[in-house]
Amino acid sequence: MLHSAVQRWLLSPSAKPLFFVLWLLPLAYLVYGAAFDQLGANPAEALVRASGSWTLRALCLVLLVTPLRVTAGLPALARFRRMLGLFVFFYALLHFLAYAWLDMGLDVGDITQDIGKRPFILVGFLALVLLTPLALTSWNRAIRALGAQRWRQLHRLVYLIAVVAILHFFWMRSGKRNYAEVAVYAAILLVLMGWRIWKRFSRPATPTQTSR
């Protein structure tokens, strides 16, 4: 009974707007903190780090949707995946803009030099570049234009993006040798991607495959 109630709520018209508002709350908190000087001694660093953390959290949830949908038997969860993917891009873009504006003063020359000089900035920028085509094609019209198969192949880039994002986070924390949070995100993403590999290879063999 609880299961069907959850499924019904996920399909209700109010579910998506509520989900949208919930994912804007971190932004509202950061804007409030910046406006009222509540972000600590180094607000610029706090904004850059918090936006990066919310990007990783959203990325983990994107990869959680399918395992949770399958194991919990909640197909309605699939309707939130694209919106969540767009929030990954939104917070990643916010993360990059906070760095470009607050750390680099929006100086394109300095930003370009910094990207080429520091590996963790380079891989972070690469993750944003890889996210861009996914965000631009997260619409029904794009799926029709690309065709379902090519669209799915393009959106498998999310697995590469997850690896690159963890590498960016690892290199960023390596200066202070603080890897605890990196390990948590890496473990979550490893489990979620491992589940997909397990499901792929544990499918029952077809009659043709069995005969070989």
pTM of this structure: 0.91
Token pair, residue 74, equals 């909640």
Q: How far is CA 111 from the centre of its chain?
A: 23
Contacts by 35-42 with C-beta closer than 8 Å and gap 24+? none
Q: Does 212 reside within a domain?
A: no
pLDDT value of position 173: 87
SS3 184: helix
Q: Which domain holds residue 180?
A: 2-200
Residue 175 has pLDDT above 90, yes or no: no
User: Residue 99: inside a domain, yes or no?
Assistant: yes
CB 137 within 8 A of CB 151: yes
Q: What is the mean pLDDT of residues 42-51?
A: 94
Which tokens hold the place of 60?
Answer: 């983990």
113-125 confidence digits (pLDDT tens): 999 999 999 999 9
Inside any domain, residue 163: yes
- pLDDT per position as a tens digit, 47-74: 999 999 999 999 999 999 999 999 999 9
For 79-121, the DSSP string reads GGHHHHHHHHHHHHHHHHHHIIIIITTT-HHHHHHHHHH-HHH
* Residue 176: band (very low, low, confident or very high) from pLDDT cuts 50, 70, 90: confident
Q: Is 119 domain-assigned? A: yes
Domain membership of residue 209 (yes or no) is no
